[in-house]
Amino acid sequence: MIFTATRGLVAAAVLGVSALAASAQDFTPENPECIAPANPGGGWDFTCRQVGKSLQDLKLIDKTMQVVNLAGGGGGVAFAEVVNKRGDDNDLIVAASSATATRLAQGAYPGNTMDQVRWLAAIGADYGVIAVAADSEIETLPQLLEQIKSDPRSVSVAGGSAVGGWDHLKVLIAANAYGIEDVRTVKYIAFDGGGEAVTQLLSGSVQAFTGDISEAKGFVDSGDIKVIAVLSPDRLPGEFAKFPTAQEQGVDAIGANWRGFYAPGDMSDAAYDAWVSKIGDLYGSSEWKEVMAANGLAPLDLQGKAFEDFVSNSVAQIQGISREIGIIK
């Protein structure tokens, strides 16, 4: 089974650019803030901090972006905070990803839906990885999955999303593709962010990690973990080329985690257009292309309405796969 959140949507057209640019000139954030809906060290934290720094470096904002870590509920605590308490905050953006779409698709944010916020733009796609500690005896994805198949209780897999969330789904997709018929036997342990999940891996509390390439990179560079599979259709370029894909190991699984932002539902049109324009300008810069290359991000160029449509389609796709795997009915 192959699933990717970007299928058929990467080429979506971005319309109304000139009108958006004109409106965007009417707003400048006074106190720019980005909520990362997890603890420091994970993908949402990376998204806020790297984009905030790059926006300031490129002079797209003239003040430092304040990053606030608001963990809990696989992003649900942050989503509820924005919807219920900060619905008209024009200075606020929130990091989002396939994990956000997954929780929305499964109804895991009680009483909340994707149309309660405004979807700004994507800044790339982050392919999933499955990794083990550097000193683990496991060297390949089939080795790990065979151990899970023969003795499910012997392997715990840690991820930075809630049970049923995107990190969880990635390892289930791989397990399903390997032939593990009841994927509910896969022992998944949820943590608030990829950084915390890797810490548990390094302590020996769990045997494997499921996350994204940007989350894993620092731990790979430090020699703490080894990536046994990337859930991409082909090997990634540059320094990531050494990591094998799941497909080349005979496990037909793909998982791309888009990264982007949403904003409060009652944000003014001028503020919304300005943030869409700023993130679009950032994405188009040579500086951001270098950031993407350094962190294993694949292209995903979507802003405004095109991004909103993309998220809507992602939610629908994830609902389908969640039913197929038995996460929801």
Query: Across residues 161-166, what is the average pLDDT?
Result: 86
Please state, in angstroms and rounded to a whole number, the distance separating the CA atoms of residues 20 and 308: 15
Please state, in angstroms and rounded to a whole number, the distance separating the CA atoms of residues 318 and 83: 23
- 3-class DSSP state for residue 192? coil
Q: In CATH, what is the architecture of 127-249?
A: 3-Layer(aba) Sandwich (3.40)
pLDDT at position 11 = 38
Please determine, for residue 12, whether its predicted confidence score (pLDDT) is greater than 50. no
| Residues 23 and 43 sit within 8 Å (Cβ to Cβ) | no
Hey, do 30-125+258-325 and 127-249 end up sharing a CATH topology, with the first three levels equal? yes
- The CA-based angle 155-161-162, given to 5 degrees, is 85
pLDDT band at 132 (very low <50, low <70, confident <90, very high): very high
Query: Across residues 242-247, what is the average pLDDT?
Result: 96
Give the H/E segment covering residue 36.
strand 33-36
Q: For the chain, where are the alpha helices, taking DSSP H only? A: 17-24, 43-57, 76-85, 98-105, 141-150, 166-178, 194-203, 213-221, 269-283, 286-295, 305-325
pLDDT at position 24 = 54
Please state, in angstroms and rounded to a whole number, the distance separating the CA atoms of residues 66 and 17: 28
Query: Across residues 120-140, what is the average pLDDT?
Result: 96
Q: Which residue is listed with tokens 């809507």?
A: 312
Domain chopping of the chain, boundaries = 30-125+258-325, 127-249
Instruction: State how far the alpha carbon of 329 is from the alpha carbons of 106, 250, 255, in Å.
Output: 10, 29, 22
Report the percent of the chain where pLDDT is more than 70.
92
Of 15 and 328, more confident: 328
Please state, in angstroms and rounded to a whole number, the distance separating the CA atoms of residues 56 and 36: 18
pLDDT at position 14 = 38
Burial 93-110 (b: 16+ CB within 10 A, else e): bbbbbbbbbbbbbbebbe
Query: Across residues 78-89, what is the average pLDDT?
Result: 97
| Residues 304 and 275 sit within 8 Å (Cβ to Cβ) | no
Q: Which CATH code is given to the segment(s) 30-125+258-325?
A: 3.40.190.150
- 3-class DSSP state for residue 190? strand
Amino acid sitting at position 242: K
Query: Across residues 15-33, what is the average pLDDT?
Result: 67
Q: Which residues face 35 on adjacent strands?
A: 68, 94
Query: Across residues 206-223, what is the average pLDDT?
Result: 91
pLDDT band at 42 (very low <50, low <70, confident <90, very high): confident
What's the sign of the alpha-carbon dihedral 33, 37, 41, 43?
Answer: negative
The tens digit of pLDDT for each residue in 106-119 reads 999 999 999 999 99
Q: Which residues contact 11 (CB under 8 A, 6 or more apart)?
A: none
Query: Across residues 254-275, what is the average pLDDT?
Result: 95
Query: Across residues 13-19, what is the average pLDDT?
Result: 42
pLDDT band at 124 (very low <50, low <70, confident <90, very high): very high
Amino acid sitting at position 121: A
Please determine, for residue 6, whether its predicted confidence score (pLDDT) is greater than 90. no
Instruction: State how far the alpha carbon of 71 is from the alpha carbons of 79, 115, 209, in Å.
Output: 10, 22, 19
pLDDT band at 35 (very low <50, low <70, confident <90, very high): very high
pLDDT at position 50 = 97
pLDDT at position 326 = 80
Of the spans 50-64, 153-167, 172-186, 314-328, which averages the highest pLDDT? 50-64
pLDDT band at 101 (very low <50, low <70, confident <90, very high): very high
Closest of 143, 103, 124, 111 to residue 256, by C-alpha = 124
Please state, in angstroms and rounded to a whole number, the distance separating the CA atoms of residues 298 and 302: 13
Please determine, for residue 21, whether its predicted confidence score (pLDDT) is greater than 60. no
pLDDT at position 2 = 38
pLDDT at position 202 = 95
Query: Across residues 74-97, what is the average pLDDT?
Result: 97
* Pairing verdict, β 33-36 and 66-69: parallel
pLDDT at position 25 = 64
DSSP 241: G
Angle between helices 141-150 and 166-178 (to 10 degrees): 80
Q: Output Rg (C-alpha) for the chain, integer angstroms.
A: 19
Lowest mean pLDDT among 3-12, 79-88, 108-117, 154-163: 3-12
Closest of 187, 177, 211 to residue 98, by C-alpha = 211
